[in-house]
Amino acid sequence: IAAYSGVLRGERQAEADRSQRSHGGPALSREGSGRWGTGSSILSALQDLFSVTWLNRSKVEKQLQVISVLQWVLSFLVLGVACSAILMYIFCTDCWLIAVLYFTWLVFDWNTPKKGGRRSQWVRNWAVWRYFRDYFPIQLVKTHNLLTTRNYIFGYHPHGIMGLGAFCNFSTEATEVSKKFPGIRPYLATLAGNFRLPVLREYLMSGGICPVNRDTIDYLLSKNGSGNAIIIVVGGA
C-alpha cells in the first residue's frame, strides 16, 4: 500500500510542480521528486487506492506492476511458512491424509532441487513477470554469444535485498533470456533453506531456481549435459 501510494503521490506532485512552473512560480513544496514519493501514511494510501480511475490504462498498468512485485515479495517471505502452518493444521483435521501424502512425496522428492529442479516454461512465461519487469524497469543486455557445448558459472552483482534483478532476468522469460541465448538453460542459485519449505520449493523450482551448494553446482556442470548456466548472486543481502 505504501508503494502504491508513493507512485500516485509522486505523480500528483510532479504535475503540481509542472503547473507552477508553467505559471512562472517556483514549487513551494515537494513530497518526492521520483517515482516513489513518501508513501508514509497508510490512511492516505487507502484513499489513493480507492480514488483511482480504474479505467485509465496507464493507472491500471502501474497498479498491476506494483501488485506483481508485491506478490513475489510476499511469496518469497510468507508462502513457505504459511504453507507449513497450513499443512500442520490439516494434519490435525479429518483431511490429515492430504498432509501425509504431501510429506511422503516430499521425502521421495527431497533431492530434486539438487538436480536442477523442475522448471516450467508455462510459469516462466506468466504475464505477471512482464509487469514485474516494467515496474523497475529491468533489462537484459547481451554483449557476447554463449556456446551451447559448454557450461558456465556467472557472477551476479550487486545482490540487493532479494536479488530481484537476477530473478527477473534468469528465472522468468520477461527479458527473453532464452531467445537472446538459445540453447542455454539458466539456473539461478539461491539459499538451500528455501527448498526445505513446502510449496515454496515447487514455486522456486518452476522458475529454474536451484540451491547454491557444491553438490548442485557439481551436478549441473558435470552430470547434466552442456548448455547449463549457473547464476550465483555474489555477496549477500
CA angle centred on 64, ends 11 and 44, rounded to 5°: 45
Task: Note whether residue 98 is domain-resident.
Answer: yes
172 CB contacts (<8 Å, ≥6 apart)? 124, 125, 126, 129, 132, 133, 207
Residue 17 belongs to some domain of the structure:
no
Q: Examine residue 34 and state whether it is found in any structural domain, yes or no.
A: no
Range of the domain at 64: 58-233
Q: Is 1 exposed, middle or buried (0-12, 13-18, 19+ CB in 10 A)?
A: middle
Closest CA to 185 of 152, 229, 123, 125: 229
Would residue 24 count as lying in a domain?
Answer: no
Read off the pLDDT of residues 74-112 as tens digits, 9 standing for 90 and up: 998 999 999 999 999 999 999 999 999 999 999 999 999
Under 8 Å between Cβ of 39 and 3:
yes
> What pLDDT, on a 0 to 100 scale, did the predictor assign at position 58?
82
Q: What's the pTM value of the predicted model, to 2 decimals?
A: 0.74
In-domain check, residue 10: no
Distance between CA atoms of 48 and 199, rounded to whole angstroms? 34
Q: How many domains does the chain have?
A: 1
Question: Is residue 179 in a domain?
Answer: yes
Question: Cell numbers at residue 203, please?
Answer: 514455486
Cβ of 76: how many Cβ atoms within 10 Å? 18
Q: What pLDDT is recorded for position 35?
A: 44
Residue 227 lies in a domain: yes
Q: How far is CA 167 from CA 22, 218, 221, in A?
A: 42, 21, 20
pLDDT given at position 20: 58
- Across the chain, where does the E strand assignment appear? 152-156, 185-190, 209-211, 228-233
Instruction: Round to whole Å and give the CA distance between 37 and 13.
Output: 8
**pLDDT, one tens digit for every residue, the chain (237 residues):** 444 445 554 555 555 565 555 555 544 333 334 444 444 456 666 666 666 555 577 888 899 999 999 999 999 899 999 999 999 999 999 999 999 999 999 999 999 999 999 999 999 999 999 999 999 999 999 999 999 999 999 999 988 888 999 999 999 999 999 999 999 999 999 999 999 999 999 999 999 999 999 999 999 999 999 999 999 999 877
Q: Over the range 168-205, which residues count as b (16 or more CB within 10 Å of their CB) and which as e?
A: bbbbbbbbebeeebeebbbbbbbeeebbebbbbbbbbb
2, 46 in Cβ contact below 8 A? no
**Is the Cβ–Cβ distance between 148 and 186 less than 8 Å?**
no
Residue 101 within a domain: yes
